[in-house]
Amino acid sequence: MNYTETVLKYIEYGYKCLPTGPIKAPAVPAGCDWKNDLPIEMFENCHGIGLKMGEQSGFIECIDIDNHAGNAKDKLIKYLEIPEVKEIYENHKIPLESTMNGGFHLLYKCDSMQGSRKLAQQLIDGKQDCFIETKGLASYVCVWPTPGYKIIRNSIFEIPKLTGIERAILIDNAISMNEFFPAQKTEYEQTDRPGDLYNASMSAISDMKSSLQGLGWQDVGGNRWRRPGKKEGISATLGKVAPNVFYVFTGNAYPFEQMKAYTPFQVLGLVKYNGDFKEAAKSIAPERVPIHNSKPQLETTEIEKLLTGARIDTRKHIEKPPTILSVKEQNGTQIQFNRVFTLGNFSCIIGKAKSKKTFFISLVTAALLSNDDRGKFKGDLPTAKNEILYFDTEQGDYDSYNVIRRIELMAGCGMRFRAYNIREYGPLERCQIIEYAFKLFGDKTGYCVIDGIADLATGINDEEEATRVVTVLLRLSKVYNCHISTIIHQNKNDGFATGHLGSSIMKKSEIIISVTKNDSDSSIVKCDMSRGISFEDFIMTISPEGIPEIIGEAKQRPAAVVSFYDKEDPAIEEKEVMQPNADFYAENDVDKLKW
C-alpha cells in the first residue's frame, strides 16, 4: 500500500516514521538501520507505518496495553477510571489508538522520557505476562493507518506534551495495576518458621499498615500507597501483586528498594529492627504466633457496616442454591436424581489410606467436567460457572498426572479444567496459592477439589489451625459461589475424619461421603451425612483400564457391570473406542494411552 501522503503529514507534524511488514517488523533493506532517516520511497509498497519514539519525533512515548489474555479493554477502563489518570487524559486530550490484536496505545510527549519499560504483569495459565509497558527511546509502535489500527479518540497529529510530574503519575498508576511480583523470602520465612507463621497471622496486615503509616506512608485507597514527602501520585501497592505483599516502585522510599516486594515480616524487620531479620524473628518466636488471631478492635462505624451487611432480610428473596451434582437412584419403578453438591457449599470425602478416595473424586469430577448424565452421577454446572479447579497436595508429579489424564479421559475433554500439584510447598504457601487461583479464575469456577485438605494446616489437632482452614473454605465457597470438595483421611478406630481439622470440616460440610475398602478389587461408597437426601451405598471397582466403575448397590453385588459411560449414547461409544488397551493401566503407565 502507498503511505507516502500519510507519512508526509506525519513529518509535517514533526514525527519520524518507518515502514513495517505484516508482523510489525521494520520493512527495510538488509544493512539499513530503521533508526536513521529513511527515504519516502520506502513507504510506497509497505504493509504499515511505524511511529518512532523518542527524540526523533519530539520525545513521543507510548503506554502500550496488550491483549494477550483478552482483557485489554477491561484493563484500559480501570486505568482511565483512576482519578489522577482520567484528569490528565481528558485535560490533554491524549490520543487513544486500538491495535490489530485488541490492545491499545496512549501517546504523549515528555522531555524526561526514558527507554522502554515493563510496568504491569499478570499470570496467564501460571505464566508471567506483561500487559502494560512503555515504548520509549530507540523503539517504535505501529500506528494508523496500518491495517488493524484505529484512532479511537483525539488526534494522533496533536500529541500533547506532559510535564515530568504528569508523566510520572501515568507511569506510577500503570505500575499500580501490576498483579504479579515474586516476593523473595528470608531464611526466617521458610516453611513453618517464625516469619512464615507471622505472615499468615491475622495481625500481620494491620501491623504492617501501622508500621508504614508510622513512617509517613499514606493509604490513598484501592490498594495504593504514597511515600512520605510526596503530595500526589502513588509509590506502592499493598495486597495487589499477592495477598499481604507490599510492592514498592519508587526509588525514594528508604528502607525499601525500588521495584521490590515485601512480606509483613520483612516490613517488620526493616522498620523496627533496621534490617536485622534474626532479631525480628526472635521478637515473635518466644511464643508461637497464632495463625488465626482475632482482628484488632474495630471502630464502631466499621462494626455497624459489617452488621448491616450480615443482616438476614426476609423481604429480599434468596434463591435456592443450584444443584451441580445429582445421584441417580431407583425409587420403585421410577428413576430420580437426588441432590449431592450445591453451589456455595463444601463437602468432605473421607476414607482410610488406599481406600480409593481419589478414584471416587475422579468419577465425580469427570461427571461435572462432562456436565451431563453419564450413569450414577449427573453434572449440571451453570454455563457461567462451569470451570473446575483441582489441587493435589499429596501425590508426586507422575501420579498427579495419571489422575488428571484419567479424569479427562472419562469426561471426554480437558477444557474448563485447571489442575495443580502443590505438594512441594508449605501449608501456608498452599493456602496462598489456592487463594490466588480463586482470585484469577474464581468468577467462572463452579467446582473445586482439594485432595489432601490436611496439608493446608500446620497441625491437624491444632484448634486454631482447624478454624483457619475451615474459614478459608467457608469464605471461598461463599465469595466465589462454588462448591469445594475436600478429601481427608479417617481415624483408624472410628469413622471420623482425623484431628480437630477433620471434625471441623465434617461439622460444616454439606455432605460427608465415605469410601471404604470392600475387598482387594472394590470399595463401598456411602453417604454418611447430607443436608439433602441421602443416597444408597454402592460398590465401586476399578476396571483393567484404570477407570472407576459402579457395579451396583452394596447390599448385593450384581454380575453385570454398569460403566460410568452410558452404553446407549453413540457419542460415548465412539469415545470408548479411544480408550487405552487393557494392559494400559495394569502397569499404570499413562504414556501408553491411546487417544
Strand partners of residue 64: 105, 133
265 and 223 belong to one structural domain:
yes
Task: Determine, yes or no, domain membership for 575.
Answer: yes
Q: Which domain holds residue 295?
A: 187-307
pLDDT at 222: 82
Residue whose entry in the numeric block shows the C-alpha cell 507510548? 62
333 burial (CB, 10 Å; 0-12 / 13-18 / 19+) is exposed
Q: Name the residue type at position 23.
A: I
Establish whether the linkage from the previous residue to 145 is cis, with ω within 30° of 0: yes
For residue 301, what pLDDT is reported?
72
Question: In this predicted structure, what is the pLDDT of residue 564?
Answer: 35
Residues 266 and 360 in one domain: no
CA distance 118 to 450: 35
Return the SS3 of 547: coil
Closest C-alpha among 44, 42, 62, 43 to residue 52: 62
Domain final residue, candidates 307, 331, 349 = 307
Q: Same structural domain for residues 237 and 380?
A: no
| Of 108, 107, 118, the residue nearest 149 (C-alpha) | 107
Q: Is residue 181 part of a domain?
A: no
Statement to judge: residues 450 and 331 lie in one domain: yes
Instruction: Give the CA angle between residues 21, 22, 24 to the nearest 5°.
Output: 65
Residue 144 lies in a domain: yes
Are residues 331 and 471 both part of a single domain? yes
pLDDT of residue 31: 85
Residues 236, 340: one domain? no
| pLDDT for residue 285 | 67
Strand partners, 550: 540, 562
Say yes or no: 204 and 170 in one domain: no
Closest CA to 264 of 192, 217, 205: 205
Q: Are 376 and 357 in contact (CB under 8 A)?
A: no
CA atoms within 13 A on the CB side of 415: 5
Select from 147, 175, 203 the last residue of a domain: 175
Could you give the CA distance from residue 357 to residue 517 in angstroms, rounded to a whole number?
A: 10
- Residue pair 343/388 in contact (Cβ under 8 Å)? The answer is no
The last residue of one of the domains, among 175, 203, 232, is 175
- Residue 454: phi and psi, rounded to 5, are -60, -25
Q: Is 185 left (phi over 0), alpha (psi -120 to 50) or beta?
A: beta
Q: Is the peptide bond before 322 cis (omega within 30 degrees of 0)?
A: no
C-alpha cell read off for 393 = 497436595
Going from the first residue of the chain to its last (595 residues), give the mean pLDDT of each consecutive group of 10, the final group possibly shorter.
Answer: 90 95 91 91 93 94 95 94 94 96 96 90 86 94 96 95 93 90 79 82 84 90 88 88 87 87 92 88 62 50 74 80 86 81 93 90 92 81 93 91 91 86 87 90 94 89 86 92 94 77 91 89 90 85 88 51 36 33 36 32
Q: Is residue 165 located within the same domain as residue 199?
A: no
Same domain assignment for residues 524 and 436: yes
Q: Could you tell me if residue 595 is inside a domain?
A: no
pTM for this predicted structure:
0.48
Question: In this structure, is residue 387 part of a structural domain?
Answer: yes
- Structurally, the chain folds into a number of domains equal to 3
Residue 547 maps to a domain: yes
pLDDT for res 214: 87
What CATH number corresponds to the domain at position 427? 3.40.50.300
Element (H, E) at 64: strand 60-65
310: its cell numbers: 450480615
Q: What is the pLDDT of residue 294?
A: 40
The answer to whether the CB of 280 falls within 8 A of the CB of 188 is yes
328 and 297 in a common domain: no
State the Cα angle at 247 between 91 and 75, rounded to 5°: 45
Claim to verify: residue 413 and residue 302 sit in the same structural domain: no
Q: Is residue 485 part of a domain?
A: yes
Domain harbouring 43, CATH code: 3.30.2250.10
Q: How many angstroms separate the CA atoms of 207 and 342, rounded?
A: 38
**204 falls within a domain:** yes
The burial class, CB within 10 Å (0-12 / 13-18 / 19+), for 415 is: exposed
Q: Other CB atoms closer than 10 Å to residue 480's CB: what's the count?
A: 21
Q: Identify the residue whose cell numbers are 459402579.
A: 550
Nearest Cα to Cα of residue 65 among 226, 147, 178: 178
